[in-house]
Amino acid sequence: MNSILAFYYSSIGKKVLMSLTGLFLIVFLVEHLIGNLLLFANDSGKMYEAYGDFLVSNPVIRFIEIFLFLGVIVHAILGVILWIKNRKTRPVKYKYFRLKDNSPLASRTTIWTGIVIGIFLYIHLKSFFIPSRFTSQKVSSYELVMHAFSNPWYDLFYLIALLVLGYHLRHGFQSAFQTLGLRNKTYAPFLDMLAFIFWFLIPVGFAAIPVYFFFYHQAVSTMIMGVH
Amino acid sequence: MNFTLKIWRQKNQKDAGRFEMYEVQNISPDASFLEMLDVLNNQLVLQDRDPVAFDHDCREGICGSCGLMINGRAHGPGRKQATCDVRMRIFDDGQELVIEPWRAKPFPVIKDLVVDRTAMDRIMQAGGFISARTGGAPDANSTPVTKENAEESMDAAACIGCGACIAACPNSSAMLFVAAKVSQFALLPQGQIERKERVQKMVIQMDKEGFGNCSNNYACEAECPKGILVTHIARLNREFLRAKLV
């Protein structure tokens, strides 16, 4: 137990926890996106709703869900702790410090992109997770999605949040492997390729959903107007 | 060439310190940055003023003594250069140069541009050594080392311990320095005896000194005068995990 505590108190130990929770959340994103792609099935949401019912009723999923929330909380709290600790390491600041000449912006803004993702997560859970999981009467998750994404401001907020998520992962994905000691000369080019999927393709995949439903909704309403 | 210098002056550790402006004229474009400061100090001595204190020794980029923050960059704007390697021709004539000491909590200013870097020595004392008897020069070939490991180890051993990685890091993290030292020994057979102990002790000492946590910005690699790569940081992490878990 003592050595576990010592590991946590070491700078590398905290970072390892940070990267493991980060990678766990990234794996969840993959699952989440694959599930969400059912929205495009063109069956008025039958498959998507079946998938949603499965998630809510399956005990294994419910069990993993606990770890998912724990993962988010640990990742966020540790991120803030590390940020505060790091801020204290230079009491007298440089008058002139040109970090932008030698390090990417994404690597220095994870705390801010992380906070935006946190706000997004709160709104996201409030509009989708809580109604389908905790309300007694049956709500159609497909209608929930349709309704939410008919609002252009809500869509815009989603797109910005996903852009920020991509930027967060731009640094986070490779950083996690560096911290776990897996980024060496042999793996680095492969990891950078893999990183592209995570910081680019996955956010784009998620972004397709509000865009699709916004135009779908527009199309449906013009059709109804046309009938009248 | 002429320059306007904005230099951090601080009498001692307790002094608050402030910037002072100086002018230097007729500097040769081929002069090194330290030679330019020598010219300034000659002027100051002739005027009976206190010369600017700065660290220097070999002036050929191998001792790790010199180290200045020049216009917001550790060892100036170039790559793979110590402050003594910087030539004045890379700046514009008449340019203002802001010169600051390394800044980090574990690097208190002693005077002007000289900082106390003994925190790095204490990290070395914690584990940056081997106890294996390596014998004299002829014995070197009696312990075979693969070429890859020898090269990689020597690349890490190129670290001169100047502290630029720490000065350039937004978190004042000493990971590149510690990584270079840990890598250097972990890759050689002579370093195996204390391999697990070394990495743990050096990391503990690093944390104790108050250096920050690495956030993989890689600003250290960009500013390292010896071109130490951040892949050594990955190895340090790996060595630490191996020591803790295996």
Taking the CA of residue A34 and the nearest CA in chain B, the distance in Å comes to 30
Sheet-wide strand order for B69-70: B18-24, B3-9, B96-100, B69-70, B73-74
Average pLDDT of the residues in B213-238: 96
Tokens of A158: 């989603």
At A42 the pLDDT is 81
**pLDDT bracket for residue A8 (50, 70, 90):** confident
How does pLDDT run across A122-175, given as a tens digit for each residue?
999 998 888 877 776 667 888 888 888 988 999 999 999 999 999 999 999 999
For the stretch B139-146, contacts whose Cβ atoms lie closer than 8 Å and that sit 24 or more positions apart, written own/partner, are: B143/B189, B143/B190, B145/B188, B145/B189
List chain B residues with CB under 8 Å of A82. 213, 215
Strand partners for B18 = B9
How does pLDDT run across A158-168, given as a tens digit for each residue?
999 999 999 99
* Nearest-by-Cβ selection for B104 from A12, A90, A171: A90
Contact yes or no for A10 and B204 at CB 8 A? yes
* Nearest-by-Cβ selection for B100 from A94, A107, A110: A94
Mutate to test the interface with B, among A95, A102, A175 (most CBs of B within 10 A): A102
How does pLDDT run across A12-39, given as a tens digit for each residue?
999 999 999 999 999 999 999 999 999 9
* Nearest-by-Cβ selection for A89 from B171, B216, B217: B171
By residue count, chain B amounts to: 246
How does pLDDT run across A52-109, given as a tens digit for each residue?
888 888 999 999 999 999 999 999 999 999 999 999 999 999 999 999 999 999 999 9
Contact yes or no for A7 and B244 at CB 8 A? yes
At A134 the pLDDT is 79
Tokens of B187: 């890759």
How does pLDDT run across A183-228, given as a tens digit for each residue?
988 898 999 999 999 999 999 999 999 999 888 777 777 777 665 4
List chain A residues with CB under 8 Å of B72. 94, 96-98, 101
Domains of chain B: 3-111 (3.10.20.30), 118-245 (1.10.1060.10)
Contact yes or no for B211 and A89 at CB 8 A? yes
Tokens of A91: 């009491």
Q: Are A142 and A39 in contact (CB under 8 A)?
A: yes
At A177 the pLDDT is 96
Rounded to whole angstroms, how far apart are CA atoms B242 and A106? 29
* Nearest-by-Cβ selection for A179 from B71, B216, B219: B216
Contact yes or no for B207 and A97 at CB 8 A? no
Rounded to whole angstroms, how far apart are CA atoms A202 and A10? 33
Q: Are B152 and A186 in contact (CB under 8 A)?
A: no
At A136 the pLDDT is 65
* Nearest-by-Cβ selection for A107 from B210, B211, B216: B216
List chain A residues with CB under 8 Å of B230. 178
Contact yes or no for A181 and B237 at CB 8 A? yes
First to last CA, chain A: 72
List chain A residues with CB under 8 Å of B199. none
* Nearest-by-Cβ selection for A90 from B98, B172, B238: B172
Average pLDDT of the residues in B4-15: 95
Fold of A2-227: 3 helical TM bundles of succinate and fumarate reductases (1.20.1300)
Contact yes or no for A99 and B219 at CB 8 A? yes
Q: Are B27 and B3 in contact (CB under 8 A)?
A: yes
Q: Are B210 and A89 in contact (CB under 8 A)?
A: yes
Tokens of B203: 């990391």
List chain A residues with CB under 8 Å of B241. 12, 16, 180-181
At B141 the pLDDT is 84
- For every residue of B139-199, DSSP letters joined together read GGGGS---HHHHHHHHHHHT-----HHHHH-TT---HHHHHHHHHHHHTSGGGSTTHHHHH
Taking the CA of residue B205 and the nearest CA in chain A, the distance in Å comes to 10
Rounded to whole angstroms, how far apart are CA atoms B180 and A139? 58
Phi, psi (rounded to 5 degrees) for B212: -80, 180
Q: Which of A143, A150, A151 is nearest to A217 (CA)?
A: A150
How does pLDDT run across B128-148, given as a tens digit for each residue?
999 988 888 888 888 899 999
Mutate to test the interface with B, among A4, A16, A75, A92 (most CBs of B within 10 A): A92
Please provide the average confidence, as pLDDT, over all residues in chain B.
96
